[in-house]
Structure 1
Amino acid sequence: MAIRKKSTKSPPVLSHEFVLQNHADIVSCVAMVFLLGLMFEITAKASIIFVTLQYNVTLPATEEQATESVSLYYYGIKDLATVFFYMLVAIIIHAVIQEYMLDKINRRMHFSKTKHSKFNESGQLSAFYLFACVWGTFILISENYISDPTILWRAYPHNLMTFQMKFFYISQLAYWLHAFPELYFQKTKKEDIPRQLVYIGLYLFHIAGAYLLNNEKYQKGFSLWAVLFVLGRLLTLILSVLTVGFGLARAENQKLDFSTGNFNVLAVRIAVLASICVTQAFMMWKFINFQLRRWREHSAFQAPAVKKKPTVTKGRSSKKGTENGVNGTLTSNVADSPRNKKEKSS
């Protein structure tokens, strides 16, 4: 009786290939350690820092509020632990989307290696953008930012945040931080790493800046995508100038005070506006170059398909060319010519 050999061997434990193949399971075990720590009194105090939002403040209810008290949050150093835990959660969700959605589509479409990596990157970002846009829109509506945009700069600094506002920031920071280890887990090509590092760094810079400077800002950016991208850049610039340039500039308190979290001074406002304008200009420059490159590639691809007009020449050769084919392609008459000769000979 022949002994069947396994076609594939599992890599050694803790080897490079083992970590790449099982990184989601490894990260799940690490996240489970923090969750199990909540079950024991000795470790609960340490685990709760990673799992739940910190710096909770309970304010007494006012006459306008129907509830007895309101729970709000501010930021601090312990938020780094919370961001780390939800970074692990983002890695797990990334692996689930990759395995149960994107990989199945890849197997059906039979993409090349280049298109395979591009599709994975676009698929992951599309899922995140859709989730973030829906959540961000819900926050804009529930916090009355759409009905009253002056809330963005009125009563600055915004030291306290609602639960969903702080959780939104934590989730955003966790997602973009998880993108760094994913460059290793997804075996990203060396030539693609600088490009991804640029936009990951830009997102982290602006989200962390909005979080630490006690100011709310949202920027969410093919045909429909191109229009939304340009509108997003313009809307971001308009809101930034309106909020930082005009709204905060007219505020009464314009003294730098780290204890109260007030950064509403001229130097900080100029730095924030400059960083936003430079970033938006850089993104538009990259966007325009990308669209121009796509247009050139499309034009170069369409050029060989355009048929040249036949040149009319006098003489026998021209007549032959017309009989044998059109524009260098054989016609059905040419294919049938041997059969015609046979019929003629018979």
Structure 2
Amino acid sequence: MAFRRRKSYPLFSQEFIIHNHADIGFFFVLCVLIGLMFEVTAKTAFIFILPQYNSSIQTLDGEILYYHYGVKDLVTILFYVVIAIILHAIVQEYILDKINKRLHLSKVKQSRFNESGQLAAFHLASMFWCLYVSATEGYLSYPKTLWESYPHVYLPFQVKFFYLCQLAYWLHALPELYFQKVKKEEVPRQLQYIVLYLLHIAGAYLLNLTRLGLILLLLQSVAEFLFHIARLFYFTDENNQRLFNAWGVVFVITRLFTLTLSVLTIGFGLARAEVHTFNPDKGNLNTLLFRMVVLLLMCVSQTWMMWRFIHFQLRRWRECCKEQAARKRSVAVAMMKQQAKVIKRESGYHENGVVKAENGSTPRQKKIKSP
């Protein structure tokens, strides 16, 4: 059995890093895990793996461990950025590349297919994770918890870990633009939504609006998952556009729910809170200016997303109209050709200026009777 030889690249060259970035990341993760085995390095290794800044609070149910944010979170986020890069490479190599070989897509469609495949897998996992955390913490069954007892400085383990992983995933998307050799024309579009996700998630985490951010991420994940699934089915069959219609309905409903929850939580819920003083040391930012700025940013972002959605739908409608017009023209041309053939068969054909029938004989002329 013959084996194909892989191309060898110079060590630490650009091509070497691109083709082996997942292996380099796995080596880093392995070093951190080995550090857990020794007492000297265990404390440092735990900073990479586990969330930091924990503190125990005495409650009626007993002592509960809570977390808050700090500078050491950057180290933990870095570790999970590397984990996200490894998972990205696994999904790409063992799932998406095998599907691409069967579909035989063009380079442009293949790039879009890989992008949607990765994001569909992420949003599916994020959707179920958000749903589980929101249900177990009681944010869905008791909506008043979204604004009660603000500021939400102390977070349960699963809430803090969820936000760290979300930030790690969207930060890993930045070097993936280099690793996946994304075209320059596609970079601004992808950078746009990566930066928007980072700003919204980091804003909810740092402004102590984690409960509201969790519900909004759940709604966003549902809409985004449906959109990328619709794109995947569209690349396999361009006539399959029903999922885009379903996504359009879900997208509009998501925008309405996002604005409603934001106004209800920030505009009404926090406005009725007992403390309205600006105290960054305790994490309290509940002032009129703070609420107005946050609501303004939320309205601007949702309005911009709706404008992009309307622009996308109009472009899609124009393309559909052009396709229908082209089909009608092709049908009309085919009908005209068919009618011309029928007329030609009925009237015969010309030869040397004389009309001949189909069998080649000259048609008999009718005699005109004299009056």
In the alignment of these two chains, the number of paired residues is 318
Secondary structure at 2:56 match in 1: strand
Instruction: Find the counterpart in structure 2 of residue 319 from structure 1.
Output: 343
> Which of residues 173, 181, 188 is equivalent to 2:182?
188
Instruction: Find the counterpart in structure 2 of residue 277 from structure 1.
Output: 299
Structure 1: 5+ residue stretches without partners: 325-336, 342-346
What pairs with 1:126-165 in structure 2 (closer than 5 Å)? 126-165=120-159
Shift of 1:223: 2.2
RMSD between aligned residues:
2.4
For 2:245, give the aligned amino acid: S
> Which of residues 62, 65, 77 is equivalent to 1:83?
77
When residues 100 and 250 of structure 1 are mapped into structure 2, their CA distance, relative to the original with a 3 A threshold, is same
Q: Is 1:208 matched with 2:202?
A: yes
More displaced, 95-104 or 215-224? 215-224
Separation in 2 of the partners of 1:29 and 1:124?
23
Separation in 1 of the partners of 2:180 and 2:96?
13
For 1:319, give the aligned amino acid: I
Shift of 1:301: 2.3
For 1:131, give the aligned amino acid: A
Shift of 1:33: 1.7
> Which of residues 48, 51, 74 is equivalent to 1:50?
48
Separation in 2 of the partners of 1:144 and 1:184?
41
> Which of residues 317, 328, 334 is equivalent to 1:295?
317
Secondary structure at 1:263 match in 2: coil
> Which of residues 68, 87, 96 is equivalent to 1:93?
87
Q: Is 1:198 matched with 2:192?
A: yes
Deviations 1:118-153 (A, max 9, x none): 000001110111100101011111111111111010
For 1:117, give the aligned amino acid: S
For 2:188, give the aligned amino acid: P
Deviations 1:155-177 (A, max 9, x none): 11011111111111001100000
For 1:121, give the aligned amino acid: E
When residues 44 and 7 of structure 1 are mapped into structure 2, their CA distance, relative to the original with a 3 A threshold, is closer
Separation in 1 of the partners of 2:91 and 2:292?
41
Shift of 1:8: 5.2
Instruction: Find the counterpart in structure 2 of residue 38 from structure 1.
Output: 36
Bigger fraction of residues in helix:
2
Separation in 2 of the partners of 1:181 and 1:189?
14
Which structure has more relative contact order (CA 8 Å, sep 6+)? It is 2
Shift of 1:317: 9.2
What pairs with 1:11-26 in structure 2 (closer than 5 Å)? 11-26=9-24
More displaced, 241-250 or 25-34? 25-34
Instruction: Find the counterpart in structure 1 of residue 8 from structure 2.
Output: 10
Separation in 1 of the partners of 2:64 and 2:3?
65
Shift of 1:7: 6.3
When residues 10 and 147 of structure 1 are mapped into structure 2, their CA distance, relative to the original with a 3 A threshold, is same
Separation in 2 of the partners of 1:127 and 1:227?
21
Scaled by the length of structure 2, the TM-score of the pair is: 0.81
Secondary structure at 2:105 match in 1: coil
Shift of 1:284: 1.2
Counting aligned pairs with the same residue, the percent is 52
Deviations 1:231-287 (A, max 9, x none): 211111110000000100111101000111001011111111111111111111111
Structure 2: 5+ residue stretches without partners: 224-243, 349-357, 361-371
Shift of 1:224: 2.3
Instruction: Find the counterpart in structure 2 of residue 242 from structure 1.
Output: 264
When residues 321 and 60 of structure 1 are mapped into structure 2, their CA distance, relative to the original with a 3 A threshold, is farther
Separation in 2 of the partners of 1:129 and 1:323?
67
Instruction: Find the counterpart in structure 2 of residue 344 from structure 1.
Output: none
Separation in 1 of the partners of 2:319 and 2:28?
46
More displaced, 44-53 or 257-266? 44-53
Shift of 1:54: 0.5
When residues 170 and 6 of structure 1 are mapped into structure 2, their CA distance, relative to the original with a 3 A threshold, is closer
When residues 317 and 118 of structure 1 are mapped into structure 2, their CA distance, relative to the original with a 3 A threshold, is closer
Scaled by the length of structure 1, the TM-score of the pair is: 0.86
Instruction: Find the counterpart in structure 1 of residue 170 from structure 2.
Output: 176
Shift of 1:225: 2.1
Separation in 2 of the partners of 1:278 and 1:322?
69
For 1:88, give the aligned amino acid: V
For 2:306, give the aligned amino acid: M
Q: Is 1:123 matched with 2:103?
A: no
When residues 293 and 69 of structure 1 are mapped into structure 2, their CA distance, relative to the original with a 3 A threshold, is same
Q: Is 1:225 matched with 2:247?
A: yes
